[in-house]
Every structure is written in C-alpha cells, then in structure tokens.
Amino acid sequence: MSSLGPSAATPSVAQTGNATPPAGITTRDLNLWYGAFQALQNVTLDIEHGIITSLIGPSGCGKTTLLRCFNRVNERYGYVTTTGEIKILGKNIYDEDVSLVELRKHVGMVFQQPNPLPISIYENVVFGMRIHNRRRELNRSATDQAVETALREVGLWDDVKDKLNMKATGLQLEQQQKLCIARLLPLKPEVILMDEPCSALDVEGTRAIEELMWMLRGRYTILIVTHNMAQARRASDTCIFMLLGEIIEHSRTEDLFIAPREARTAEYIEGRYG
C-alpha cells in the first residue's frame, strides 16, 4: 500500500535515520480546467526535497492553482478537471487508492490570512492530532510534548508557554501565522505549501516568517506563492516563473534573477508587465 493510502504510516527521514531523503514533488503533463477554462497547461516539474521553492508570476497566471494541486484542494470545486501526474513520496496522488486525508496530512498548507481556530493555543496545535487519531484517546504527556516541540520549532514557545490556554485569536498576526505553521508539524508533513503567507504582515512579521522558513528548510519541502519579487529572491533556493498557466522558467533563484534564460522572465522581473 502506498504511503498515501488509507492506512498510511510512512515514517519520515528524521524518524528512520535513512540517509536517502524522500522524493520531493514531480509533475508530468499536468493540466487543469475550471469548467471550459484551462488554468494549467502541461506543467512538468521536478522539485527537490528539503528546499524552498517560490512560485512567481502575474495575477491569474496559475500559481495558487498549481499550489493547491499538491494537496488536491482544487477538487473541492465540482467544475474542476485535472489530467496528468503529480508524485509525492513517490506516489501519484491521483491514483484511486490515495486517501485525501492522508495526503493532506503529508502536505500541509498555510494561507494568506492567519487562520487560527478560536480555541486555545494548546488546542490549536493538537487539533490535527485529534482529527487523525479519532479512534484512540491521545496520551496527555504525548500531546504536551508535541505542543512544546512544535512551538519551539516555530520560535513561539518562550512567548506563549505560560498562556497555552489563551485563545489563539488574541495573538499578534505574526504569532498567529507561526501558530498555523506549528499546527501542521505534529502530523510530520513532508511538504508545506504557503500561499502568500506574509501578505497580511508588516515588515517585522514578514522577516520573522522568512527566518522561520529557513529554519524549517531541510526537514520539509516548502513551496511559497509570492507576488513580492524581493521576497522570492531572499527566501527561496529555486524559483518557478509562471505565465498563463505555463511554466516559463524553473531554476536556481539566483540564476533566475541575475541571468534569466527566457526573455519573458526578464521582462517580468524587470517590471515591464504583471
């Protein structure tokens, strides 16, 4: 059974000590239609495990649509049709035996606006654990440890350790976004998708989230959609430029910004359109 199947329990590299990292994300001839409108066209990509990849391009070019393909969120809309292949953990996520619950456990998502649940900080962090372990009661010491580990990993523990029962919506926006990332970590995802995670934050909050991304890099494959060219340049290892649903260029971020191979890429990053 695939690691994304109904009874998936595939351990991560960190758990097994295996020197060979899991595969990142690969797509082959991926197409997506919203009704009669084709939003993605023959997208073929190879994204390494453990790096940060930014998705850039003008509004409506397909960035968020592509991001949401990786956890099949687009399929919530009944008028979406998809063809092609996406492999995560070496498994085509469109195979019939893939469990969407397990897929979204392995592929977490962070949205533009921080969306902590209107419950305590503690319960926000363990929310996913409770959802995925409905058939058995969670041990309190295990949840306590998971909360502390996740909050330490996102740099929140020292700020909130004495107010874990406080409603999460009372945190500052930057802290709320960090908490939303912490909420994913007890599920041990392989991939973290970020859809403009800094768009609601000020300069300091943006810096804090970018620093957090670099801290998480290596353990997780991170994809970030951003309209901010400076952020893409600062905060990613590789960069994908999209236009009208197509991949125009995918290369090391430094190379893409300093010496783009495609004229359309150069025009976009130089601000000639978009």
> Does residue 100 fall inside a structural domain?
yes
> Does residue 57 fall inside a structural domain?
yes
> Does residue 93 fall inside a structural domain?
yes
Total domains, the chain: 1
pTM: predicted TM-score of the whole model, two decimal places: 0.89
Q: Is 224 helix (H, G, I), strand (E, B) or coil?
A: strand
Local confidence band at 139 (pLDDT 50, 70, 90 cut-offs): confident
How many residues appear in the chain?
274
Which ranges constitute the DSSP H helices of the chain?
A: 13-16, 63-69, 100-106, 121-132, 140-153, 157-160, 173-182, 203-216, 229-234, 253-258, 263-269
For residue range 23-48, list pLDDT tens digits in order.
Answer: 689 999 999 999 999 999 999 999 99
Query: What is the rounded average pLDDT of the residues 172-178?
Result: 96
> Does residue 7 fall inside a structural domain?
no
Domain of residue 169, CATH code? 3.40.50.300
Please give the Cα distance from 209 to 207 (Å, whole number): 6
* 194 touches 231 (CB < 8 A): no
Q: Is the dihedral of CA 159, 109, 57, 35 positive or negative?
A: negative
Q: What does residue 39 show for φ and ψ, rounded to 5 degrees?
A: -95, -25
Which candidate, 228, 187, 180, 191, places its Cα nearest to that of 207? 228
> Which of 2-11, 68-77, 177-186 is predicted with the least confidence, judged by mean pLDDT?
2-11
Query: What is the rounded average pLDDT of the residues 140-151?
Result: 94
What per-residue confidence (pLDDT) applies to 7? 42
What per-residue confidence (pLDDT) applies to 12? 37
> Does residue 16 fall inside a structural domain?
no
> Does residue 274 fall inside a structural domain?
no
- Which domain does 63 fall in, by range? 22-269
Local confidence band at 211 (pLDDT 50, 70, 90 cut-offs): very high
Which candidate, 203, 260, 262, places its Cα nearest to that of 230? 203
- Higher-confidence residue: 136 or 62? 62
Q: What does residue 47 show for φ and ψ, rounded to 5 degrees?
A: -115, 120
pLDDT(14) > 60: no
> Does residue 4 fall inside a structural domain?
no
Query: What is the rounded average pLDDT of the residues 58-67?
Result: 96
Burial class (CB in 10 A: 0-12, 13-18, 19+), 19: exposed
Beta bridge partners, 33, equal 38, 81
* Strand-strand pairing, 52-56 and 37-47: unpaired
Sheet strands side by side (includes 191-195): 107-110, 191-195, 221-225, 52-56, 238-243, 246-252
Q: Is 82 helix (H, G, I), strand (E, B) or coil?
A: strand
> Does residue 13 fall inside a structural domain?
no
